[in-house]
Amino acid sequence: MKKNRVRSTVLLAIFLTTSAMITSFAFTGCETTNEIKIAVAGPYTGSVAAFGEMIKRGAELKAKEINTAGGVNGKTLTLIFEDDAGKDKEASLVAERIASNRQILAVVGHFNSACSLAGKPIYKRAGIVELSPGSTNVNVAAGSDWTFRNIYRDDFQAAFAAKYIKNILGDIQKVAVFFDNDDYGSGLKDSFTAEAKELGLEIVGIEAYDRDNTDFKAQLTSIKAKQPDLIFLSGLYSQAGLIASQAREVGIAAQLFGADGVDSPDFLEIAGDAAEGTYVTTPFVFRLDDPKAQKMATAFEEMHGVAPDTWAALTYDAVGMIVEAIEKGGENRKAIRDHLASITSPEKGYDGITGLTYFDENGDCTKPAYVKIVEDGQFVPAAEQMLGID
Name the site residues for other proteins (rule: CB under 8 A).
44-47, 49-50, 181, 207-210, 212-215, 217-219, 221-222, 224-225, 238, 241-242, 245-246, 249-251, 266, 269-270, 272-273
Question: 45 vs 298, which CB is nearer to other proteins?
Answer: 45
264/169 Cα distance (integer angstroms):
22
Tell me whether residue 233 or residue 296 sits nearer to other proteins (CB atom).
Answer: 233
- For 155, 178, 344, the CA distances from 364, given in Å and listed in that order, are 12, 27, 10
User: Closest approach of Cβ 91 to other proteins, in Å?
Assistant: 16
For other proteins, the closer CB: 37 or 110: 110
Distance, CA of 122 to CA of 46 (rounded, Å): 23
Q: What are the φ and ψ backbone dihedral angles of 132, each rounded to 5 degrees?
A: -90, 130
Q: Rounded CA gap, 355 and 347, in Å?
A: 13
CB of 262 to other proteins, least distance (A): 14
State how far Cα 275 lies from the chain centre: 23
In 3D space, the residue among 150, 73, 146 whose CA is nearest the CA of residue 326 turns out to be 73
Q: How far is CA 88 from CA 79, 110, 113, 327, in A?
A: 22, 10, 9, 32
Cα 210 from chain centroid (whole Å): 21
Shortest Å, Cβ 155 to other proteins:
22
250/303 with CB nearer other proteins: 250
Report phi then psi at 331, rounded to 5.
-90, 50
Query: Residue by residue, what is the 3-state secondary structure of 51-96?
Result: HHHHHHHHHHHHHHHHHHCCCECCEEEEEEEEECCCCHHHHHHHHH
- Residue whose CB is less far from other proteins, 46 or 381: 46
* CA 200 and chain centroid, separation: 32
CB of residue 235 to other proteins, shortest distance in Å: 13
CA 331 to the chain's CA centroid:
24
Q: Least distance from C-beta 210 to other proteins, angstroms? A: 7
Residue 214 or 344: which CB sits closer to other proteins?
214
In angstroms, what is the minimal distance from the CB of 376 to other proteins?
16
Q: Report, in Å, the least distance between residue 273 CB and other proteins.
A: 7
Q: How far is the CB of 148 from other proteins (least distance, A)?
A: 28
Compare residues 111 and 164 and give the one whose CB is closer to other proteins: 111
Residue placing its CB nearer to other proteins in the complex, 45 or 173: 45
C-alpha distances (whole Å) from 92 to each of 55, 82, 99 are: 19, 11, 10
Residue 269 or 338 with smaller CB distance to other proteins: 269
To other proteins, the closest distance from the beta carbon of 189 in angstroms equals 11
Sheet containing strand 35-42, edge to edge, reads: 76-83, 35-42, 104-108, 129-132, 147-149
Rg of the chain over all Cα atoms, to the nearest angstrom: 24
Residue 252 Cβ, how far from other proteins at the closest point, in Å?
A: 11
Q: Which is nearer to other proteins, 129 or 275 (CB)?
A: 275
Residues 6+ apart with CB under 8 A from 389: 160, 163, 167
Per the rule left: phi > 0, alpha: psi between -120 and 50, beta: everything else, 109 is left
Cis peptide before 304 (omega within 30 of 0): no
